[in-house]
Structure 1
Amino acid sequence: MEESVRSSSPVGEATPHIDLRQIPRPAKRTPRAVVAEDSSRKTPSTAWEAHYRAWVIGADVLATLVVIAISAAIIDKLELHNMHAIGTIAAVLCALPASRAWSQRVLGEGAEEYRRLGRGLVTAAVLVALGGLLFGALDVQPWVFIVVPVIALITFPQRYLLRQVLHRQRRQGRCLLPVMAAGAPDTVADLIGRTRTEPHVGWRVEAACTFSGTGAERDTGEVDGVPVVGRLDELAEHVRRGGYRVVAVTADQYWTPQRLQQLAWDLEGTSAEMVVAPVLMEVAGPRLNVSSVLGMPLLRVTAPRFTGGRRLVKEFVDRCASALLLTVLSPLLLMIALAIKLNDRGPVIYKQRRIGRDGASFTMFKFRTMITDADKVRKTLEKDNEGAGPLFKMRKDPRITKVGSMLRRYSLDELPQLFNVLYGRMSLVGPRPPLPEETKKYGSDARRRLLVKPGLTGLWQVSGRSDLTWDQSIRLDLRYVEDWSLALDMVILWKTVRAVVGGEGAY
């Protein structure tokens, strides 16, 4: 067996010469003096990243110290060498960085930031509990079940407020990462359009490279107003000279695995992060995992799960939250009902058949916002329809009453749907509940919306509401169905409050 693994070269024969120059190497690094000079030039454009991260860390640490100090005064009467307080501080300040809750890559965008923050605080609570068992301090229950949750109640809104400040800066054209886009002109133009319509992401495409070094039209040097600075084979050289923070690789036949790997090598030693857009499908979130099989990197896309433990948690939260909200909002519901009744003496609740999970129909409840014979009058208004796809919408619908106009602006007419959530026919978050006539026109893709319960709110609610096109509404609902997570639900619920208060896109 030993002979089988020995070299086949005869003993005494010279070892074959290996030409090290043939081994692919990263591009030669820029001399230190030049790097220092470039860094000083590009620091102002990205210095905000370190400042924002410092603010996030400082806010988390301050909230932790204040909550623990107050808790120590209440629970342990500020005893000297209070090990409960010291242990909780150590647990939180170790668990958050260990959970990468302060990673610069997730700060300011997406649900991943909140997911990591929650994971870190749960880890801190577990550490405090284990510490109590290890050292025989069995009176740590208040620190596990009260103090750490209170820290969460403060740090989560803090993160949100800091993010809103950052997003406001980005909408004003500040705190943006300079991006180099590289790909076909049409895919580069799509990326540019998305970054402009959603500036909160923090990208600003400042230059582009295409295969021919020209724009969408052969005689132009721009793509959607962004200058084309060179060809794709010159990309690394332009990135090094320009000091870009992100290299966004979009679809183009030029890109092969070998060329992408070489580009990654060439970008080593620069401040640029290489981002490759997946062009095969629009899937994101927890369903995507990168793994290696036989040395080949593969992007694994797991099947969406519509059952299981997380869905049971969602069901439990839906029922409990709807019952609590109906109890708390009962005075408001009575006032709205009285206003509708006094307005025209008509019925208070409007009932309508909608389609729920797996195509089952149910009766959806809403406060009536239109005249009593609105369905009959609609036939005379079909020519003025402004709705997208099979939807009927009018910005100035003459059927809406004065009370109904106010209710619609702030989505108060939808509050009775909490009864649908309580009965288990709807969810707090999900796709928009469709009408039966809508579902008859569904294609195979749109029918996937029926795999989950419809929601009182959803991505469509926080992304434009009635201002969305039909295709945009379908895309958002499908994205929710495919990439659902508990963290995403929390983000949508939080954003719904802001959208409703602002009355954005409602009519």
Structure 2
Amino acid sequence: MNAERAAEFITEPRTVRVPARAPRWVVPLVKTLLAFTDLALATLSFATAFYLRNHEAMFRRTAQGNLTWVSEFAPYAALLPLVIPIRLLLLRYYDLYRLRGEFSLVDDMARVFKATAIGSLLIVAAAFMYRGGIAYRTFSYSRGIFLFDFLLALVSIGAVRMILRTGQIVMRRRGVNLIPTLIVGRGTEALQFIREMRARPELGYRVIGLVENGQFDSGAPSYFEGVPVIGNLKSLPEAIRESGANEVIISDPSVPGEALFDVMIQTGRRRGVEFRIAPTLLNCLPSKTEIDQVGSLPMVTLFRSPLSSAARIVKRAADLIIATLALLILAPLWLLIALLIKLDSRGVVFY
């Protein structure tokens, strides 16, 4: 068995496995700290918006020496249990807690704007529907405070994302937070991918091995552009497991679509491995694809890795909250439509 493997593989896949430059808990810790930072910024933006609008302190001391809300801020304080989840869920919905792979500062700022803008609209809608509960049902909220809150949240959250991404660029140039990547096939496309990722480590990829499309030619060099050849397409699932690769780029346009999908099935989606494919292979694309770009190179992502259990819970919670708010906002319109149907036609409104 070992003799057969030595004949088949030029370089053992396990030898190209890159040891982690940081402990596994670092990325979850950074995401957690980022979420707590966003929570603090959402609270601070809302409180600062009140101060800028009214020029009044938000706290006062009671006769017992305890801090409490001033009466003017109390109706807004009652909204904080809605403001904070809406902000965090929208940021998660727009994938602003992702630290893996390539990113664009412009794209990040666009997603921050969408998350804060839609979040502010939902906060306004929730404020005027909920009105702080029974205690403040007759209170009239200031629209200026919501405008200031939007601007402050946009600037502060955007600034934090810029600082985070700048830190990622610095760390990636030092070899940290890079995705171990395999490339399938030799040729011009593979050469471009290797050179682009090597010249721009801030993209977040480290090419650790090359996989031949078909049987290895004994006359072919065992390295391609300094990258070791570790196997062929048939052995790709095993090469992924042994090398610890998290990304596979298909650069050879002659790769059979059936063989590619067999590899993906054998690899299993729960391993968190993403497959990207050169646009020249559009003839074998499934319907569930995503057009993407790595640096200046166009890519098509096949089957994004599935959401984790925590991510599914967050997504489900966001769906329920947004759907509930939409139902509440549109309820008067639906009641009006039901009334018009009842006045215009005989029988029940619902069929």
**What is the TM-score when the length of structure 1 is the normalising length?**
0.44
Task: Output the CA distance in 2 between the equivalents of 1:213 and 1:59.
Answer: 52
Shift of the alpha carbon at 1:116?
2.5
Shift of the alpha carbon at 1:223?
0.9
Task: Output the CA distance in 2 between the equivalents of 1:189 and 1:227.
Answer: 13
Task: Output the CA distance in 2 between the equivalents of 1:107 and 1:68.
Answer: 32
Shift of the alpha carbon at 1:214?
5.1
Relative to structure 1, the CA distance from residue 86 to residue 211 in structure 2 (aligned partners, 3 Å threshold; closer, same or farther) is closer
One of 20, 29, 39 as aligned partner of 1:61: 39
Task: Output the CA distance in 2 between the equivalents of 1:48 and 1:246.
Answer: 20
Q: Deviations over 1:178-225 (max 9, x none)?
A: 11111234432221101012211010101110125659x934211111
Shift of the alpha carbon at 1:273?
1.8
Are residue 87 (structure 1) and residue 88 (structure 2) matched?
Answer: no
Shift of the alpha carbon at 1:252?
3.4
Match of 1:220 in 2: 221
Task: Output the CA distance in 1 between the equivalents of 2:288 and 2:272.
Answer: 26
Task: Output the CA distance in 2 between the equivalents of 1:142 and 1:87.
Answer: 18
Runs of 4+ in structure 1 over 6 Å off: 298-301
Match of 2:201 in 1: 199
Task: Output the CA distance in 2 between the equivalents of 1:98 and 1:207.
Answer: 34
Match of 1:326 in 2: none
Q: Which amino acid aligns with 1:191?
A: F
Residue aligned with 1:279, SS: helix
Are residue 135 (structure 1) and residue 137 (structure 2) matched?
Answer: no
Shift of the alpha carbon at 1:102?
2.2
Shift of the alpha carbon at 1:237?
0.8
Q: How many residues align?
A: 251
Task: Output the CA distance in 1 between the equivalents of 2:252 and 2:102.
Answer: 27
Gaps of 5+ in 1: 1-40, 282-291, 302-462, 464-474, 480-507
Shift of the alpha carbon at 1:260?
2.1
Task: Output the CA distance in 2 between the equivalents of 1:90 and 1:65.
Answer: 11
Shift of the alpha carbon at 1:123?
1.5
Residue aligned with 1:161, SS: helix
Q: Retained in 2: the 8 A contact 1:185–1:210?
A: no
Q: Retained in 2: the 8 A contact 1:42–1:243?
A: no
Task: Output the CA distance in 2 between the equivalents of 1:114 and 1:168.
Answer: 19
Q: Retained in 2: the 8 A contact 1:208–1:226?
A: yes
Match of 1:308 in 2: none
Q: Which amino acid aligns with 2:122?
A: L
Correspondence 1:421-460 to 2 at 5 A: none
Higher relative contact order (CA 8 A, sep 6+): 2
Q: Retained in 2: the 8 A contact 1:45–1:175?
A: no
Instruction: Name the % identity.
Output: 16
Match of 1:172 in 2: 174
Correspondence 1:96-107 to 2 at 5 A: 96-104=91-99
Are residue 50 (structure 1) and residue 50 (structure 2) matched?
Answer: no
Task: Output the CA distance in 1 between the equivalents of 2:120 and 2:149.
Answer: 9
Q: Retained in 2: the 8 A contact 1:101–1:120?
A: no
Task: Output the CA distance in 2 between the equivalents of 1:248 and 1:207.
Answer: 11
Match of 1:260 in 2: 260
Relative to structure 1, the CA distance from residue 201 to residue 300 in structure 2 (aligned partners, 3 Å threshold; closer, same or farther) is closer
Residue aligned with 1:156, SS: helix
What is the alpha-carbon root mean square deviation over aligned residues? 3.4
Shift of the alpha carbon at 1:103?
3.7
Relative to structure 1, the CA distance from residue 160 to residue 248 in structure 2 (aligned partners, 3 Å threshold; closer, same or farther) is same
Task: Output the CA distance in 2 between the equivalents of 1:181 and 1:147.
Answer: 47
Q: Deviations over 1:156-192 (max 9, x none)?
A: 1221111111101111222211111112344322211
Correspondence 1:62-461 to 2 at 5 A: 62-73=40-51, 75=54, 77-78=57-58, 79=69, 81=74, 82-104=77-99, 108-109=103-104, 111-136=106-131, 137-212=139-214, 218-253=219-254, 255-268=255-268, 269-279=270-280, 297=287
Task: Output the CA distance in 2 between the equivalents of 1:206 and 1:46.
Answer: 19
Residue aligned with 1:230, SS: strand
Relative to structure 1, the CA distance from residue 185 to residue 46 in structure 2 (aligned partners, 3 Å threshold; closer, same or farther) is farther
Relative to structure 1, the CA distance from residue 204 to residue 105 in structure 2 (aligned partners, 3 Å threshold; closer, same or farther) is closer
Relative to structure 1, the CA distance from residue 42 to residue 236 in structure 2 (aligned partners, 3 Å threshold; closer, same or farther) is farther
Task: Output the CA distance in 2 between the equivalents of 1:49 and 1:179.
Answer: 19
Residue aligned with 2:249, SS: strand
Structure of higher CA gyration radius:
1
Match of 1:284 in 2: none
Relative to structure 1, the CA distance from residue 55 to residue 163 in structure 2 (aligned partners, 3 Å threshold; closer, same or farther) is farther
Q: Retained in 2: the 8 A contact 1:177–1:246?
A: yes
Q: Which amino acid aligns with 1:97?
A: R
Relative to structure 1, the CA distance from residue 104 to residue 266 in structure 2 (aligned partners, 3 Å threshold; closer, same or farther) is farther
